[in-house]
Each structure stands twice: as C-alpha cells, then as structure tokens.
Amino acid sequence: MLDRFGNKVSIGYSEIELIWIEAANSLRGYERACALYDISQMSGRSVANVREKANKMRVEKVHQDWLRNAPAMGSRADRGRPGGMPPSEISLPSMARLMAGK
C-alpha cells in the first residue's frame, strides 16, 4: 500500500516476516540484533518496530510456555505446605501478657 507521497505503508506483518522474527528470537545477543536489522531492511520497517514486535513475540512465547507447564490453580489441597503437615497450634496470649507493655 502506498501513501499520498508514494511511500510504502505496511499494515500488519506478513506470515514470512513473523517466521523471520521467530527465527531471530532463537538467536542470542549480537546475532539476534543483526538478524532484526536484516529483517527491518528486507521488510522496509524501522529497526525499532521490528524489535518491538520481536519482544512482544518473546513475551507471548514465555507466557504460553508458563501456561502449558504450570499446574492448574488449586490442583492440590495442601498447596503451600509440605505433605500432610497439620497447621501449627499457637496458644492465645493471656490478658496480663497483652497489657504488660502499658
């Protein structure tokens, strides 16, 4: 799509660009930065836009992995306590102990 000045305007990301960004996300450090720069050059987008989309895709992947691996909420009755330990019994303080500070 072209704007009124004849410049290319990209709306959304094509499937191939998403595949490129996903592949770039699998790289580390400088290689990832170079790959995102190359993607921005091939797609005609700014490096900042491509980096922002890559970061959103990384966060979404981490979230999906967490949802897949996390146990369901409330799946265990004794959640938070080691297996089968009863709650501790604490005796209530006497009135004299409560008033000792005054």
Chain segment 54-92, per-residue pLDDT in tens = 999 999 999 998 888 876 665 555 556 566 677 778 888
pLDDT band at 24 (very low <50, low <70, confident <90, very high): very high
**Rounded Cα–Cα distance for residues 21 and 59 (Å):** 13
Element (H, E) at 41: helix 29-43
* pLDDT at residue 60, rounded to an integer: 94
- What does the block give as tokens for 43? 């797609």
Q: What is the DSSP letter of 88?
A: P
Q: Look at the alpha carbons of 82, 84, 87, 89 in this order and tell me if their dihedral is positive or negative.
A: negative
Count the Cβ atoms, other than its own, within 10 Å of residue 20.
20
* pLDDT at residue 86, rounded to an integer: 74
β-bridge mates for residue 2, sequence order: 8
pTM > 0.85: yes or no: no
DSSP assignment string, 60-85: HHHHHHHHHHSPPTT--TTTTS-TTP
